[in-house]
Structure 1
Amino acid sequence: MAASLSASRYGLETVDVYRKLKGWNKLDEDWAECAGVSTTTLRRFWEGRRIQQTYFQAICQAVGLEKWESIVDKRALVGSCSAQLDERETGNQQEKERLTGEVVLQTSVSTPVETSECNQEQEFSVAQQVRKAFTARPVSLDSPFYVERPPIESNCYNEIEEPGALIRIKALRQMGKTSLTNRILAHARSQNYRTVRLNLRQAERAVLSNLDKFLRWFCANVSSQLHLEPMLDPYWDETLMGSMISCTTYFQAYLLEQIDSPLVLSLDEVEWIFEYPDIAQDFFPLLRNWYEEANNLEIWQRLRLVVVHSTEVYIPLKIHQSPFNVGLSVELPEFSLKQLVDLARRHGLDWSELQVQPLMAMLGGHPFLVGLALYRISCQDITLEQLLKTAPTESGIFIDHLRRHLFSLQQNPELAMVFKKVVTTDSSVQLEPMQIYQLQRMGLVQLNGNEVRPRCNLYRQYFCDLL
């Protein structure tokens, strides 16, 4: 019988801290999608009710909590074992005490263990490895399912070692930006660099009400992650120096002086700032200025920037003030046919290119959709033929993913009509810049010059009749 777990009160408080760092609400659809669960399962989790162990683990790992075992309600586990023992009418009190005192959880780093509930030896099959990998997205550093895109990884590792480096990673949603960034930061740590990762979506609307509040929030968060006490006031004078110079002074005279090694600062979801032009018009030139200062002052060579975004830059920035036209530019492509064949084999599927082609015709090289397909097929939940037949339907395995997009479009009827035009037109369609931005942000379209087309045939088939 599959193990079911619930979180303790302390555990829920711990997850809540990680949730806020991600900028997610408790029933966030992005969280559910990343964990591969429904929002109903998320709700059960927050209510302290039992859910399957694989779902429990996936929810924790998706939010960044790797030591998920520490938040399990052990009392509920003990009660569960006692009830099972009573049902079996063992009558052996000594055995009952042993079992209730030695509940063993299956962890993500070991093979399934033989517990007192089940004495049958279990084999750690390819399917179980796949399940572990899929529920632990982004792809973990030691996962055999991470698909490299040469020479992107090696270029990034080399660039981050350059004084004053700036790496710009742009790709649609669910293309592997986070997994690549994790590897860049891991490489930096292997060089004994300090690393800070800040998701700009965490900035609340109140923080984004003016530049000074935002830059103070920015500096305080970087300080906190470096385990340094925020010391803003001695370096900050909005009236005489202005917020931008105050922020620069704080980094130069305090943060960079307090560390004795390079600092890699990764900024995720910077497109969130595009929606606040008053902030963007000053913040992005500030980043560009820091990059340029590495040519003038040695201390700024310690700062290495990684800027991650999902859309084109649609805010007007002067060429010499933009951080989006300097440094190393990285655009993550979709998986190629050969990469899909290789990934299928890693999932235990001995497929040829000919067998993979129908899957690619439906999903393109979309990493998340392809990963979900191979995951379900390798677990023998569905065959390739069944998957392709039901993919764009309500009974298909992608329905949760598709419904989330449908719901978002229904909240914006004007955008829904625009996307209907895209999916019902055989050729690429020219749209307004803001329309492209909105659809790109959702990950629904690919950009070809100034025109767009559906990101994959699955989207074309599903939304064609529903919009």
Structure 2
Amino acid sequence: MTIDELTDLLKASLPGSLTPLQEMVLRYSWEGKTYADMAAETNYVKEYLSRTASELWSSLSKFWGKPVSKNNLRFYFESRQLTNSQQQLIEAFRRQSTTSSLEFPSGPVALNSKFYIERPPIESLAYEEVTKPGSITRIRAPWKMGKTSLMLRILAHAEAQKYQTVTIDFQQAGKILFSDIDKFFRWFATYISRKLQLEPNLDEYWDEDMGSKVSCSIYFESYILDSIKSCLVLGLNEVNRVFEYPEVAEEFFSLLRSWYEQASTTKIWQNLRLVLTYSTEIYIPLQIHQSPFNVGLPLKLPSLTPEQVMILSQRYGLEWANSQNKQLMGMVGGHPYLVQLAFYYMCQRELMLKQLLQEAPTESGIYNDHLRRLLAILQSEPALENAYKQVLASEHPLKLISLLAYKLDSLGLIYMNGDFVTHSCELYRLYFKNQLLEKG
């Protein structure tokens, strides 16, 4: 059995169920981590974890009638097959717990949500990178693919290491902030100061003769990093918004690159770690030595695999067959949001898979709001709309102007393979063929 099956079986069977801390110890132990490892990755003291584990092993031993310990946990259970009664018990438990905890898929997946699906080795690489002095982690994926959900987990891991964290979502920044380079840098410095509960003290460090970029660096080094006396992780979400303003982008991204390089020679800059998310390749001209997008750890979020979609269906408590998995993925691929939305409605017993798939590319389907948003974006940019029409009309992969290809990729509408592109999933092909080609 898997660790998910074991934890659900225990929750459904044990009178007192499992506490969140016991479940954490159970999962860490399954991975072979020591109590020292667990303590290093959480806010718990090693001795407290050991006591919790001792109670857990005692309960498990009584329940199974055989001695269970940290050392034999995985060896004992991984080779065991669930009985029919145990499978039924787990399915009933999952249906009940899913119905009571179900949330409509919209924003990032919450840290305590069981509906977050890891895509190994991405998470482990990111957790390791954020602990490295002066590091940059770059997360790229199209819209609604889980970039922010991953960033939340990286920042939570950083906080467990006693680091301070600040998140900036550039989608929430008003246009006026990008109208002037000095205004942008002052806003950036002020925002981070306030999030760290530091009184903004820009006037003491800002010098017009030196310029905004140098002033911002001095402010960070001499005020922010010096004041907090700990590592600081900046989560910069959707930085592709800055790409739309080339003058600001050139100065801002070269500043981030300079901070990264200063970490190799100046100790205080080693305390700063950056996590960047963006939806597309960089299509603004940046000198190689001035770009933060060719250094650090690059992470490109892939679609969910059939196995991962199957795991997600189990967490939703669905009785899900391989044939159903193939049908759903044939329509939406492994797009996390589109898959989650389907499982949500099926779990609510509002739709059966057959009806969901029939209605999916129509105005009456569950994806109508998502599709209309994409349609509005396309229709607001005629060149982008015409480029996508070419993709829809072509029976073979084709080349597009790089800028247009990058923008379509950022929306998740195409799949890029080298210089060639195709539509990314059947849902988009059917809907937009009807909206842009047949109606046009």
Aligned pair partner of 2:283 in 309, 314, 337: 314
Shift of the 223–393 alpha-carbon distance from structure 1 to 2, 3 Å rule, reads same
Partner Cα distance (1:350, 1:295) in 2? 53
Aligned pair partner of 2:386 in 417, 423, 427: 417
Match of 2:137 in 1: 167
> What displacement does 1:323 show?
0.4
**Relative contact order higher in (CA < 8 Å, ≥ 6 apart):** 2
TM-score, normalising length from structure 1? 0.71
Partner Cα distance (1:145, 1:416) in 2? 34
What are the residue-to-residue correspondences of 1:454-465 with 2, within 5 Å? 454-465=423-434
Question: What is the aligned length?
Answer: 343
> What displacement does 1:202 show?
2.9
Q: Deviations over 1:74-120 (max 9, x none)?
A: xxxxxxxxxxxxxxxxxxxxxxxxxxxxxxxxxxxxxxxxxxxxxxx
Contact 1:424/1:460 (<8 A) preserved: no
Shift of the 459–124 alpha-carbon distance from structure 1 to 2, 3 Å rule, reads closer
Q: Deviations over 1:363-394 (max 9, x none)?
A: 00011111000111111111111111221122
> What displacement does 1:130 show?
5.5
Match of 1:108 in 2: none
Match of 2:41 in 1: none
Q: SS of the counterpart of 1:148? A: coil
1:366 aligns with 2:335: yes
Q: SS of the counterpart of 1:437? A: helix
> What displacement does 1:212 show?
1.1
TM-score, normalising length from structure 2? 0.75
Flag structure 1 segments of 5+ consecutive residues without an equivalent.
1-122
Partner Cα distance (1:125, 1:163) in 2? 45
Q: SS of the counterpart of 1:264? A: strand
What are the residue-to-residue correspondences of 1:88-107 with 2, within 5 Å? none
Contact 1:423/1:459 (<8 A) preserved: no
> What displacement does 1:317 show?
1.2
Match of 2:186 in 1: 216
Partner Cα distance (2:416, 2:149) in 1? 23
1:201 aligns with 2:171: yes
Match of 2:266 in 1: 297
Partner Cα distance (1:124, 1:380) in 2? 11
Shift of the 171–246 alpha-carbon distance from structure 1 to 2, 3 Å rule, reads same
Partner Cα distance (1:389, 1:324) in 2? 42
Flag structure 2 segments of 5+ consecutive residues without an equivalent.
1-93
1:279 aligns with 2:279: no
Structure 1 or 2: larger helix share? 2
> What displacement does 1:200 show?
2.0
Partner Cα distance (1:296, 1:183) in 2? 29
CA RMSD in angstroms comes to 1.6
1:408 aligns with 2:377: yes
What are the residue-to-residue correspondences of 1:227-376 with 2, within 5 Å? 227-238=197-208, 240-376=209-345
Match of 1:392 in 2: 361
> What displacement does 1:151 show?
1.0
Partner Cα distance (1:334, 1:231) in 2? 44
Q: SS of the counterpart of 1:465? A: helix
Letter in 2 for 1:198: I
Match of 1:138 in 2: 108
Contact 1:130/1:375 (<8 A) preserved: no
